[in-house]
Amino acid sequence: GPEDAPWEVWAFTATIYGLKDSPFQLNAAIAKCTNYWKEKTQRSDFELSVASRFIRATYVDDLTLAFNDQGQAIKAVKICAEIVQEGGFDSRKWISNDSTILESIPEAQRAPHSIVIEHERGQEMEKVVSDPTLQLGYRYNAATDEYVMDRFGQIAFTRDTQTKRGV
SS3 label, residue 72: helix
pLDDT tens by residue, 93-130: 888 877 788 888 888 888 876 666 777 788 887 755 55
- For residue 157, what pLDDT is reported? 47
Query: What's the distance, Cα to Cα, between the start and end of the chain in Å?
Result: 53
**Residue pair 40/32 in contact by the 8 Å Cβ criterion:** no
SS3 label, residue 33: helix
Q: Name which of 115, 113, 63 is nearest 84 in CA terms.
A: 63
Strands (E), 75-122: 113-120
Backbone angle region of 133, left / alpha / beta, with phi > 0 → left and psi within -120 to 50 → alpha: left
SS3 label, residue 119: strand
* Residue 46 phi, psi dihedral angles, 5° rounding: -65, -45
Instruction: Decide the pairing of beta strands 58-59 and 123-130.
Output: unpaired
**Residue pair 102/110 in contact by the 8 Å Cβ criterion:** yes
pLDDT tens by residue, 44-99: 999 999 999 998 888 777 788 889 999 999 999 999 999 999 888 888 888 887 77
* pTM confidence score: 0.66
The amino acid sitting at 61 is D
DSSP state at residue 74: H
Q: Name which of 132, 128, 131, 164 is nearest 151 in CA terms.
A: 132
